[in-house]
Structure 1
């Protein structure tokens, strides 16, 4: 297993970097972004620090990497938060100054395309945090979800164990950022369904690795992930994006991980609740249920072929649905299939 260290934590009143290594969407949706910044200041007591590409769409990957490096290099900045995801961060990480990141470890928060940075920090031996987005979560219409806020606050400011909680309500149908008026009311939510457990009744404790499944597949193609030997004993976390990959795609991506020897080494797998609605695919509730069922079946089939004894927990709120729980990336997690509890060490 890769040796990893937790970076020092920020405290209220500190300056934190707000960066857009994936996409400069704050420039397109300033009303959402400014709301997120205000909540970061007022709700968390942190002072955001922007960089030249934070609000720039289509910025050169080298410029985005320069900003990311600068955020870690600045001694007055104590954490780094990604504004949002995107689809080309894989072109940015090769230009980051690894020596700077390794010498100045800081908590990095991001998900989706930010899996590139989370995995990159993991390879440098630094624990990061899967989750949190200035636009999506701090800029959530109506108000940030209480479960997200509690998890994010604990991940930012504390270092002990934190028990994750199944959401009493969830949503995957966001309001339209193009209409500023939609910030005035909360998105559609549905009754929570709890977690779904599968596999042996045992307790697994280990370090996490994974992230967005589509991005992990890209990282495998570019040979930028740790080896199967380095990841043996880790707890895999996976979630899928708003691109709504089909069950067939999900199975094939996991099958490829299995053929690489990865799946056999994960004693437990946490699977994020599947996002099943998007503006160009406004599924009915029945279609959403069918989509989510098919995705769970795809994960089950892949694990049956490569690691049938793994503990699997489905519908954990750690991905593209609302609310979102923060999970340390490379940090410790305890998956208790006896009492059906999940705890993480922030």
Structure 2
């Protein structure tokens, strides 16, 4: 069974720890702005030391990062954990994370953070939330897609929450000139299907940034089979992935490895987020990858959804039962917090 944390909308405390990258001193104003925004909205903030430090591609040593996370996730005064952002080397912490007896508490984030999110849900059955990171919540307001994170995290067990595709997405970052909602949403959003026809698909959500979650394959944290058989009663998995940096051939190798490892043995479909990467190799394009995957697995493949490093993004819950529909470039996802 899946355990869903629950956040009370009016009063909660946000814990900020950096299991991957912290924020270097010159960028501390980003964290301070996020803190000011949350406090203005009546929220309490608790910062770990790792949030404020960064050296050699990590906030601190693997032991220090994991110890801070282990303490914060078990701190009864903290209701939800939101790291500042992702990073590069979260995988170093996994062997030191105390998964046994992990309390049912929300953790929200994406990029490198998604590695820990997926590991938690696979090993413990505690639902985790793939969505915005903290520094992107520092604006005067929040765009209609990003802002739904709070609606998702306040959904009660057994309840459902509906999200829709965005109207516009951000093509390029302009860090020097943030808008009131941080992002520059200039490009028309279009969710697409490999077949080019409307698609409806449903299943248990699992996924994250494919650059990093792929490294769970073959490790003690590769519990996909256990998750499916023991925690969700052999229901089909609906995978979602977003690609940060991989070329098309690296993406193809990764998906093939996942297939060979049994991650796609019983699935209903795969969703891919918009990507700043997917760099073609020769004339091998990402659409070739999607088409080959759809043909091999005989499942729907939906792409360019609101997920990942090309904002804004939906809040997708690992473990939730989702119904996804795509028609005429628009998408709807209904997540039900089914045990």
TM-score tier, shorter chain, comes to 0.7 to 0.9
Once residues 30 and 147 of structure 1 are traced to their aligned partners in structure 2, the CA distance between those partners, rounded to angstroms, is 26
Equivalent residue number for residue 236 of structure 1: 239
**Aligned equivalents of 1:143, 1:76: Cα separation in 2:** 26
Residue 10 of structure 1: how far off its partner (Å): 3.4
Counterparts of 1:134 and 1:334, CA distance in 2:
27
Please give the per-residue CA displacement for 1:231-262, whole angstroms capped at 9, x wherever unaligned.
Answer: 45111010011xx3111111111111112222
Hey, what's the Cα distance between the residues in 1 that align with 2:143 and 2:200? 30
Counterpart of 1:317 in structure 2 is 306
2:194–2:290: 8 Å Cα contact kept in structure 1? Answer: no
Give unpaired runs (5+ residues) of structure 1.
278-286
1:26 touches 1:83 (CA, 8 Å); kept in 2?
Answer: no
Question: Post-superposition shift, 1:120?
Answer: 2.0
Q: Distance in 1 between matches of 2:226 and 2:48?
A: 38
Q: Aligned in 2, Cα 1:188/1:303: closer, same or farther, shift over 3 Å?
A: same
- Unaligned 5+ segments in structure 2 are 229-233
Cα pair 2:270 2:302 within 8 Å, conserved: yes
Looking at structure 1, the residues matched to 313 and 24 of structure 2 have their Cα atoms a distance apart, in angstroms, of 20
Alignment match, 2:191: 195
Query: How far apart are the structure 2 equivalents of 1:52 and 1:253?
Result: 35
TM-score normalized by structure 1? 0.83
The 1-side partners of 2:319 and 2:287 are apart by 24
**1:62 aligned partner:** 63
Tell me, yes or no, if the aligned pair for 1:212 and 1:238 is still in contact at 8 Å. Answer: yes
Partner residue, 2:125? 125
Change beyond 3 A, Cα 1:329–1:28: farther
Q: Are 1:328 and 1:345, in contact at CA under 8 Å, matched by a contact in 2?
A: no
Instruction: Show the counterpart of 2:164.
Output: 165
Residues 216 and 28 of structure 1: CA distance in aligned 2, closer, same or farther (over 3 Å):
same
Q: What is the aligned residue count?
A: 319
**Structure 1 position 175 matched with structure 2 position 174:** yes
Task: Report the CA distance between 1:168 and its aligned residue.
Answer: 1.1
Q: Please name the residue that 2:201 is paired with.
A: 204
> For residues 1-346 of structure 1, what are the structure 2 equivalents within 5 Å?
3-25=1-23, 27-43=25-41, 45-57=42-54, 58=58, 59-101=60-102, 104-122=103-121, 123-135=123-135, 137-139=136-138, 143-149=141-147, 151-159=148-156, 160-176=159-175, 181-183=176-178, 187-198=183-194, 203-228=200-225, 230-231=227-228, 233-241=236-244, 244-276=245-277, 294-305=285-296, 307-308=297-298, 310-336=299-325, 341-345=332-336
Q: How far apart in 1 are the matches of 2:171 and 2:141?
A: 16
C-alpha spacing 1:68/1:28, structure 2 compared with 1 (3 Å): farther
Shift of 1:148: 0.6
Deviations 1:166-219 (A, max 9, x none): 21111141123xxxx534675543332321124697743322111111112211
TM-score between both structures, scaled by the size of structure 2: 0.84
Taking structure 1 as reference, are residues 223 and 96 closer, same or farther at Cα in structure 2, changes over 3 Å only?
closer
SS at match of 2:312: coil
